[in-house]
Structures are given as C-alpha cells and as structure tokens.
Amino acid sequence: MAKWLYAFKDPMGHPDVKIGITGHPKSRLGTYQNAMSPRSHRACFDFVWVGPDNQIAKLETVLKDHYDWDIASDKMGESEWVQNITVAEIQQIVQTKINGFHFHIKSLEAVFPVNQDDCPYKVGDPTNEVNTTIPGVKL
C-alpha cells in the first residue's frame, strides 16, 4: 500500500512547515480544516511525495533526525513542525534524502497546493473512484 508524505506551511504566517504522513489524505485535511473556518483558511498540502508505506515511514524518520533541534517539541501536535524553514527548503532536503537513501518515492504530479477537494479518501486504493477523477492529480 502507498502513503503520502506531505508538507504545508504554517497557516498563521510563521516561518514553519509541518511534515507528516498519511494514507487517508482527505480525512487528514478534514482534521486540519476542523481547527479553522474555511472562510479564513483552507487546509491544504503545499507539497506531496508518494511511495510505499515502509519507505515513507523511513523517510519521515530520516527527516525528523535531520531537523532534530528545529522541531518544536516532542509533544503531541508539535512533533511534526519544523521551525524557521520554507516549503521550498523542505522540498530540496526531501529530494536529497530520497536520492541519498535510494528511496522509491516520487513527488506527486499535481498542481499545488492540494486541498480536500483534490484528494482521494485513501491513497492507492484501486476501488476508490476518486483516485481516477481528481483534476490535476496523477496518482
């Protein structure tokens, strides 16, 4: 089964980026959207990489090790936030790590940012018709 590793910038404007993984992107974005009115902010992923579960999990670990002291804290809800960085810088580091560790992970071919309307319910589920009808997203 495949998963997504995603990155998105702090919606409140701080120079921080959240890095996380999910197999259910529509639900994950729904959870993030619940915290704010869609009139003030639309939850979205600014960049997404896709790959096998085990390699996405390893990549997340590699990134957390790489950013160690730049991660807000180990507390729930804070352990995925990298401080004082941009999504573009995260993209470069992720690609460097993918190449260096020879992960079979690729960037999602999409028009970014990707919001709830653009996401499948479950990554890689061939029975999920949403996967084949998302405008601008190629899984």
Which two three-digit tokens encode residue 22? Answer: 């999910």
The 10s digit of each residue's pLDDT in 106-130 is 998 887 888 888 877 777 654 443 3
The 10s digit of each residue's pLDDT in 67-110 is 988 887 888 778 889 999 999 999 999 999 999 999 999 998 88
Q: What is the pLDDT of residue 124?
A: 67
Which residues, in sequence order, are bridge partners of residue 114? 45
Q: What residues contact residue 99 under an 8 Å CB cut-off, 6+ apart? A: none
Predicted TM-score (pTM) of this structure: 0.84
The 10s digit of each residue's pLDDT in 26-59 is 899 999 888 888 888 899 999 999 999 999 999 9
Q: Is 1 exposed, middle or buried (0-12, 13-18, 19+ CB in 10 A)?
A: exposed
At what angle are helices 87-101 and 53-67 packed, to 10 degrees? 120
Is the pLDDT confidence value at 133 over 70?
A: no
Q: What is the pLDDT of residue 70?
A: 87
DSSP 8-state assignment for residue 100: H
Could you give phi then psi for residue 14, rounded to 5 degrees?
-70, 155
